[in-house]
Amino acid sequence: MKLELVVIGFVFATSAAASRAAAQAPDGKALYEENCRKCHGVIGNPPKTMKEKYPKIATFNMAFITSRTDDSVVTILTHGKGDNMKSFKDKLKPDEMMAVAKYVRELGSKPHP
């Protein structure tokens, strides 16, 4: 009985800590949907209209992530690339860029139909 209470207490304590951490870390998925999805697509496959408009647009797939790190994506976000991939340095804070970069690489690691 006493052990059960200890276990329950532990579960409450850890889930409270986890939700505090989640509240502090920027939400990469939400930031992606707000800032990137329009051009790069929900799962990192740019929609056809965007591919026609921007032939060089990146698809976030396995080939993409094997040649990029979180840091190299952050560099792109800081400086932009080409004429259409704008810099996000005025829109996203450094920790937000890192969260988006991680999310982009997570998308890339998922299967693309």
Residues that bind ligand HEC (CB under 6 A): 35-36, 38-40, 54, 56-58, 68, 73, 76-77, 81-82, 84-85, 88, 100, 104
Instruction: For ligand HEC, give the closer residue by CB, 18 or 71.
Output: 71
CB of 113 to ligand HEC, least distance (A): 21
Nearest-angstrom CA–CA distance, 39 and 14: 38
Which residue, 56 or 93, is less far from ligand HEC as judged by CB? Answer: 56
Q: How far apart are CA 1 and CA 30, in angstroms?
A: 43
**In this complex, which beta carbon is closest to ligand HEC, that of residue 24 or of residue 67?**
67
Closest CB 88 distance from ligand HEC, rounded Å: 5
String of DSSP letters for 45-95: ---HHHHHH-TTPPP-SHHHHHT--HHHHHHHHHH-BTTTB---TTTS-HH
Q: Select the residue whose beta carbon is closest to ligand HEC and give its number.
A: 82
Q: Which of 20/81 has CB closer to ligand HEC?
A: 81
